[in-house]
Structure formats: structure tokens, C-alpha cells
């Protein structure tokens, strides 16, 4: 039996929990202090709900983070200090070079593994393999309906309400995209970490009135050849801004904890 810590209890965590195998159980939830009592009532006594890693009683086998950039920054160093391996879904946080370097140093010093989960896209394994021979270019295109860009920096760049055709409103690096669009940074940042880096990975963001789903497109070229992958993401029913595949990638990571044969 493996017992894990979940950082966060939003729509993604709630989607992941029913997908865990019998051999992997959630033993602890780390949430905001004001939510502890409410969530403890929801999940029952078998799960300890706390507001910090320091309050955990017991020895977790692993942790998975689904709490956004602020949640990851708040808890990852405590997890590392406690010697707990962690799977990370809020990958856009690593666009902060100082944070990435600090996590790397701490994890190496403690012998802890920090796993970057694939999230809402496919092809990360192929891209990381291709990197070994040399990548010439990696382009990520994120295409969504204008409604999905509401509340983001896109509103300062384009009139989302007046669009009648697909319009590219941002071109820049993965690092720039992560800074300007933190709620949409995870895919570009994951590609950058797997491939040629935050500053070399190109990003194009597109508002398209014809889109009914979120499209993620990866175009990579290098010594290995060429790769082009297009994903049409279905969102979680309880949170349209979160990809179902991102939640499934967390569930897969948790399932592998008890598997002898990994794919």
C-alpha cells in the first residue's frame, strides 16, 4: 500500500482521487488554512487535512501538487526537506529561473526526485529523447476560443469581443508566455524543460472564434527529424480552465507508484 500527499483540493484533485488504484491511497491533503475544517468534513477521518507539510503525521511515499504556482512555491521546499518525492503539475512556476535553481539544489542535496508531469499535452517523452541528438527549434501554439482568454493579459493586446477570425495575439518565448499568462503557462513550460529551454522555445497564442475546445500544437525539428503533434483538449466539467488530460497525467503518475513495469 502506498500513501500519498496531495497538495491542493480543487477540481483536478477531486477528479484524480476516484482514479487511484486500490494500492494507492491519499493519506494527507494540504490546503489553505481557512479550508481545513470544511474539507476535513468532506473527505472524512481516513485522510488528514492540514495547511502545511510540517503538520503531516506519518511517512508519505510521495506527494503530488495540484495547487497552482503559489501553492507549489509555498510547499515544495518543505516537501523536499522532509525527503518526500513530488510530482508537479504547476510547471509554469519553473519559468522563474531562481526558483528552478533553488528547487534543483535542494532536491539534489536531499536526494529527492521532483517529477515534471506531462499535463495537458502528449509527446514530452519523444521531445526529451530528441533533445539528446540536438533540437533546432520547438514551437508551441495554443489556440482557444476568445472566451477562454478572458481575464488574461490577452485583453490588453486584442479586443476579444470583436474577433471574427483566428488571430495570433502573442509571439514570444516560453519564459515570456509564462510571465504574461501564468494560468496558461504549464504546457509551454513543460515543453521548454523537456526540450531546448525557456528562452529558446517559441510560443504563439491564438484566439479563434471557431474553436470549441482548447488546441495545443507542438512543432519540433532537429537531428532526429520532425515532430508535429496536435491535441484537442476536453476540459474538466467542474473547471473549464483545467484540462482533463492534465488530471489524468496526475492519476497515471500515482498509479505508477505501485507498478513494477513502467511505460
Active site residue 216: yes
What local confidence, expressed as pLDDT, does residue 255 receive? Answer: 93
Q: What predicted TM-score, i.e. pTM, was given to this entire model?
A: 0.91
Q: For 168-188, how does the pLDDT look when each residue is reduced to its tens digit (9 = 90+)?
A: 999 999 999 988 988 778 999
Residue 241 pLDDT greater than 80, yes or no: no
What local confidence, expressed as pLDDT, does residue 183 receive? Answer: 76
Contacts of 242 (CB under 8 A, 6+ apart): 10, 11, 12, 235, 236
Q: Which CATH architecture has domain 2-120+245-256?
A: 3-Layer(aba) Sandwich (3.40)
Q: For 104-128, how does the pLDDT look when each residue is reduced to its tens digit (9 = 90+)?
A: 999 999 999 999 999 999 999 999 9
Residue 237 pLDDT greater than 90, yes or no: no
What local confidence, expressed as pLDDT, does residue 261 receive? Answer: 85
Among 216, 245, 250, 254, the active-site one is 216
- Domain(s) labelled CATH 3.40.50.720 in the chain stretch across 2-120+245-256
pLDDT over 90, % of the chain: 88
- Domain(s) labelled CATH 3.30.360.10 in the chain stretch across 124-232
> Please, what CATH class does the domain formed by 124-232 belong to?
alpha beta
What local confidence, expressed as pLDDT, does residue 51 receive? Answer: 98
Task: Give the residue ranges of the annotated binding site for NAD(+).
Answer: 120, 186
Asked if 202 contacts 173 with a C-beta cutoff of 8 angstroms, the reply is yes
Asked if 204 contacts 168 with a C-beta cutoff of 8 angstroms, the reply is yes
What local confidence, expressed as pLDDT, does residue 15 receive? Answer: 95
What local confidence, expressed as pLDDT, does residue 126 receive? Answer: 95
Residue 240 pLDDT greater than 80, yes or no: no
List 227's β-bridge partners, or say none: 220
Question: Residue ranges of the alpha helices (H) in the chain?
Answer: 11-16, 36-43, 68-81, 97-110, 124-131, 154-157, 174-180, 186-194, 244-256
pLDDT-derived band at 25, boundaries 50, 70, 90: very high
Lowest-pLDDT range, 9-18, 184-193, 202-211? 184-193
Burial (CB < 10 A; 0-12, 13-18, 19+), residue 37, is exposed
Mean pLDDT in residue range 47-76:
97
Amino acid at each position: 500500500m502506498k500513501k500519498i500527499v496531495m497538495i491542493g483540493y480543487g477540481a483536478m484533485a477531486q477528479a484524480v482521487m476516484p482514479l487511484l488504484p486500490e494500492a494507492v491511497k491519499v493519506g494527507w491533503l494540504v490546503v489553505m488554512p481557512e479550508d481545513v475544517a470544511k474539507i476535513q468534513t468532506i473527505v472524512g477521518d481516513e485522510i488528514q487535512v492540514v495547511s502545511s507539510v510540517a503538520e503531516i503525521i506519518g511517512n508519505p511515499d510521495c506527494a503530488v501538487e495540484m495547487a497552482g504556482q503559489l501553492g507549489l512555491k509555498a510547499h515544495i521546499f518543505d516537501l523536499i526537506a522532509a525527503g518526500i518525492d513530488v510530482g508537479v503539475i504547476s510547471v509554469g512556476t519553473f519559468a522563474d529561473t531562481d526558483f528552478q535553481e533553488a528547487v534543483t539544489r535542494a532536491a539534489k542535496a536531499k536526494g529527492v526526485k521532483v517529477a515534471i508531469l506531462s499535463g495537458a499535452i502528449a509527446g514530452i517523452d519523444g521531445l526529451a529523447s530528441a533533445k539528446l541528438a540536438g533540437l533546432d527549434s520547438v514551437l508551441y501554439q495554443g489556440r482557444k476560443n476568445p472566451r477562454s482568454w478572458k481575464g488574461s493579459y490577452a485583453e490588453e493586446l486584442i479586443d476579444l469581443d470583436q474577433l471574427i477570425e483566428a488571430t495570433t495575439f502573442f509571439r514570444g518565448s516560453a519564459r515570456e508566455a509564462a510571465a504574461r499568462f501564468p494560468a496558461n503557462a504549464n504546457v509551454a513550460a513543460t515543453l521548454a524543460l523537456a526540450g531546448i529551454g525557456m528562452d529558446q522555445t517559441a510560443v504563439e497564442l491564438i484566439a479563434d472564434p471557431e474553436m470549441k475546445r482548447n488546441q495545443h500544437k507542438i512543432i519540433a525539428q532537429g537531428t532526429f527529424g520532425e515532430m508535429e503533434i496536435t491535441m484537442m483538449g476536453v476540459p474538466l466539467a467542474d473547471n473549464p480552465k483545467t484540462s482533463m488530460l492534465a488530471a489524468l497525467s496526475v492519476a497515471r503518475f500515482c498509479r505508477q507508484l505501485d507498478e513494477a513495469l513502467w511505460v
